[in-house]
Structure 1
Amino acid sequence: MSLQPNPIPDPNTVNVDQSEQTKSRRLWIDSAMRIVKSKTSFIGLCIILILILTAIFAPLIATHSPTAQDIINRYQPPSSEHFLGTDELGRDIFSRIVHGSRISIQIGVIAVGIAMIIGVLLGGVAGYFGRWIDQIIMRIIDIMMAFPSILLAIALVAVLGPGLTNAMIAVGIVGIPQFARIVRSAVLSIKETEYIEAAKSIGAKHGRVLMQHVLPNCVAPIIVQTTLSIGTAILDAAGLSFLGLGAQPPTPEWGAMLSDGQAAIQNAPWVVAFPGLAIFFVVLGFNLLGDGLRDALDPRLKQ
């Protein structure tokens, strides 16, 4: 039995791999520093961190049960007992908004997760293979984009039935075209690069090339679109709940709170003002952070 010496790694190859890893690490560190230095993106990041912390510690922050009713104290203005007042059933608005932050995060994660997974796969396949596959997928995407997003979401919820889960599925489906088009555009440019041609020349299968070489290089636009889509998903889900197609009573969802309080907007404006402000600031936070990420991850804006 003959012993064969282990192959000695080429030092040039090792140096190239280490150089690429170092360059990638520096890119993300530099992007993080650009986000922190940007005032608008930093404000958006702070708003999102406050939302996440509020959702995590909701039982500790809330002063009352979000579903406890006190008809005697209905429509009470903001006070030391009820920081943001009470609604038509005497429920504490502050506690309902705090617990509603959990639902907003759930909507953002699930709805955008559905849109991202399906949209990235469709856009990647369409851009990589092209020809008739690209034509079929993109024509379906064009048809979906021909409908206003809220109308398409209403139609889907009408088919699936009202409820928070179905609303998240509908909002996720509505968000698929944005991810598909962005990923397709990125794949069309990436698949023509030299390292993709090298992977094909050594016999790598299409699925491996797409999943291990092409899509990982589309991470930057996917991250930006995901951040921007979360705010849109929260806003769309709130709109569905406002119409009675999303979260059902007594779920403390911000859009449903707006719907419940619209009848008393003149006599008790705090019932709709504070849930509306919560939606406004959360959507604003994700939009500001998304714009900051887009600037930070754009190599054309680097000195």
Structure 2
Amino acid sequence: MFAPHSPSATDILGANLTASGDHLLGTDPLGRDIYSRLLYGARLSLLGPAIVVCAATLFGTSLAIASAWWGGRLDRVIARGVDVLFAFPALLVAILAVAIFGHGLWAPVVALAIAYTPYLARVVRTVAVRERSLPYIDALHLAGLSGWRICTRHILPNVLPMVRAQATIGFGSALVDLAGISFLGLGVQAPDAEWGLMVSDGRSALLNGYPMESISAGFMIIVTVVAFNVLGERLAQRSEVDR
């Protein structure tokens, strides 16, 4: 709707143009409109972190509530599994996944979803254990409600504010990790538009005095990450106040 040009349309004669009315941010070394590629690049740049956060939130919250509710041996097994996952840096896991399954968006997304799960699970488990120990949970249990219903209808809604806060903060971290993978040439591949890939593609033009591609894509990454981090911190503060 807002992109004036196709993100993949090349024009060698129009390479490295400065900003103008037709090209708001100029063109890259292949003559592609930087503004259009920046807008289209938001699709993959935001889709990947969204999938990572949704998957990590689903699995992490499920593990945390199960661990808090059942406790005992299951809690210890989940805790040890989370500790093992903590030993592997998220970016390293993503790079290993790319080395095994090949370049593209999905291999690092799946790897990061697995790597981010323990971070969310540990925070949510702390809140869920505190909720599990409250007297109203025992009252519900004595009233004959099943564990599944208590967890889904009472514990889960009360931990959701913290889940939202952690997921929002995790979105920014996932965006940076995926952009870094694309910057290294291991994620999204040309001619697709993606912010990390645009930062990498613009390096040669940057050295030749045409910095707009790298700067604009890097600026979008920074602004988006800061925005989600600020939002996540506000949500976390609000969840604590509500409690």
One-letter amino acid matched to 2:234? G
- Equivalent residue number for residue 110 of structure 1: 51
One-letter amino acid matched to 2:233? D
One-letter amino acid matched to 2:179? A
Which of 216, 239, 243 is matched with 1:274 structurally? 216
- Equivalent residue number for residue 165 of structure 1: 106
Whole-Å separation in 1 of the counterparts to 2:64 and 2:101: 26
> How much does 1:79 deviate?
2.3
- Equivalent residue number for residue 92 of structure 1: 33
Deviating beyond 4 angstroms after TM superposition, the runs of 4 or more aligned structure 1 residues are none
> How much does 1:162 deviate?
1.6
> How much does 1:156 deviate?
2.5
Whole-Å separation in 2 of the counterparts to 1:262 and 1:140: 41
* TM-score under structure 2 length normalisation: 0.94
Whole-Å separation in 1 of the counterparts to 2:102 and 2:67: 32
Alignment of 1:224-235 (within 5 A): 224-235=165-176
One-letter amino acid matched to 1:297? S
- Equivalent residue number for residue 249 of structure 1: 190
One-letter amino acid matched to 1:199? L
- Equivalent residue number for residue 128 of structure 2: 187
One-letter amino acid matched to 1:123? A
1:62 paired to 2:11: no
8 Å contact from structure 2 (residues 89, 115) kept in 1: no
Whole-Å separation in 2 of the counterparts to 1:105 and 1:269: 23
- Equivalent residue number for residue 216 of structure 1: 157
One-letter amino acid matched to 1:269? P
Which of 59, 72, 97 is matched with 1:156 structurally? 97
SS in structure 2 at match of 1:298: helix
* TM-score under structure 1 length normalisation: 0.76
Whole-Å separation in 2 of the counterparts to 1:280 and 1:249: 22
> How much does 1:70 deviate?
0.7
Which of 198, 202, 214 is matched with 2:139 structurally? 198
One-letter amino acid matched to 1:87? D
> How much does 1:202 deviate?
2.4
Alignment of 1:11-50 (within 5 A): none
One-letter amino acid matched to 2:63? L
1:30-88 deviation line (CA, Å, top 9, x unaligned): xxxxxxxxxxxxxxxxxxxxxxxxxxxxxx21111111011111122222221111112
One-letter amino acid matched to 2:173? T
> How much does 1:166 deviate?
2.1
- Equivalent residue number for residue 27 of structure 1: none
Whole-Å separation in 2 of the counterparts to 1:68 and 1:147: 40
Whole-Å separation in 1 of the counterparts to 2:29 and 2:72: 58
One-letter amino acid matched to 1:125? A
8 Å contact from structure 2 (residues 88, 115) kept in 1: no
* RMSD, aligned α-carbons: 1.6
